[in-house]
Structure 1
Amino acid sequence: MILHVPRFMNASRLAGKRILNVYFDAFFLPLPEEMNEAMRSFLLNEIEEDEIWNEYRILTGANEPMTRFLKNFFSPIINSLKVKFGQNEFDIYCYHNATTHAENANLSEEQLLLEFRCKATGKLFLDEWRQLLKKLVGESEENYYRKLLILLSRHYEPVILTYDASVRFLKEKLSDWRVKVEYTYYYWRSPMEQLLVYSMIHGVDGITKEDFEKAVKQQIDYLDFILAEKNIDIAHEKWAEKASKSLVRRRYLR
């Protein structure tokens, strides 16, 4: 089973509850494989949760805000795994690598700086957005699938957790396993997520200039909601409410 958990705390808490009520003999986390031993030690109560994220920072060079966000996001998940492990032991695997996480952290910072440049200058810098999107698509296609397939071959009832914007490509790679996808949380993709998923399917250059410019403007608008709220879940819900009303209004005007 693929368990899709977008990066919202509400989704993470729902995933934590789901983990307690499903059987599996192996669990796969989208964290650096170098953290396998630390995760197992945590499940065995040999180390504290903070030690996991200290190791993450050392491995990836991630800044403190990024590490804190991931810690908060994964906390309900890994604490449910600890409870589950106490009831019935299972294998735990981290199936990403540290280099990819380090590069993703850099790209997140690059995106944030670009967003603030757009806000400060009133310009869109579309060429720079296209270059950033190409880098993000490249990272999304990171070649961890072969390793994942090898590990999966050892188990009968695995659960693979992913927070990718789309599970389409992961499901295709695992087609021989006939895995089902379980969505913990349904939500509107942010403009940047929409661009990323479309680009993964059709290529970045397949987006027209008009559509690309529109999406970038929407992403800057999305940033305003994020900056106005301390809670990203609330910010996203407010943006989604505005976006849905706008969509309904456009349909009515037609």
Structure 2
Amino acid sequence: MQVFLIAALLALWEFAADRWVPALFISKPSLIGATIWKWLLDGTYTHHLWVTLQATVMGFALGASTGMVAGYITGSLPRVGEVLQPVITALYTLPRLALAPLFLLWFGLGMEFRVVFTATIVFFLVYYNTFFGVREVSNELIAAVRIMGANRWQLARRVIMPSALTWVVAGLKISVPYALVGVVVAEMLASNEGLGFLLAKNAEQFAAHGTFAAIAGVLVIALVIDALVDIVTRRSLRWKTAGTTANP
């Protein structure tokens, strides 16, 4: 049914172009497919796709890892959280595009600019989910484990992190598309490679088929990264699923 639905939408799109809507605005799936095939043959597609994929993965990894660490520290240490919360809130409310000129000044037009720009977007999504996940851990459970003689590391590894994992997984899942958005926006702003650059270049030339071909590549990256995050999170939460299904 899913394949049939997609095929029907593509057929409707092909029929509507130049009949209901000018092809200049929406192009045609046949032209978009031909453009993708041409770019695959000459290496254009794979090169720009690989650049965007690299930046997305690195930006996501940097933002997610720092967000989890900061969220755990501020969530498990209330005094630290109270001191840093106004600063983190102020940075969170600051539009990311306002930081783009500074990042360009600091890191230039290379990969570093895209990675850092993306990481600043992912960081706060993962940070707040981790922060609230740690804060939601039962105090009674923590007290019981402490009475049993657990040290801080054992408490974090055996109680806090597993209990907050559902929140962290939600943050990771939400941040995947935002990581890709950050990379594409950065490439559209200032870059000479990547799918964002390819998209902006074709849009400037009013080449709808090239623009949609670049968007198709962005969609492929989004689906691949989302599938990888699903695999990792499913394995991380396997113990929780097993415990749930074992109950009568």
For Structure 1 versus Structure 2, the TM-score category normalised by the shorter chain is: 0.3 to 0.5
Structure with more of its chain in strand, by fraction: 1
Structure with more of its chain in helix, by fraction: 2
TM-score norm. by structure 2 comes to: 0.32
TM-score norm. by structure 1 comes to: 0.31
Q: Which has the larger radius of gyration?
A: 2
Q: Which has the higher contact order (CA 8 A, sep 6+)?
A: 1
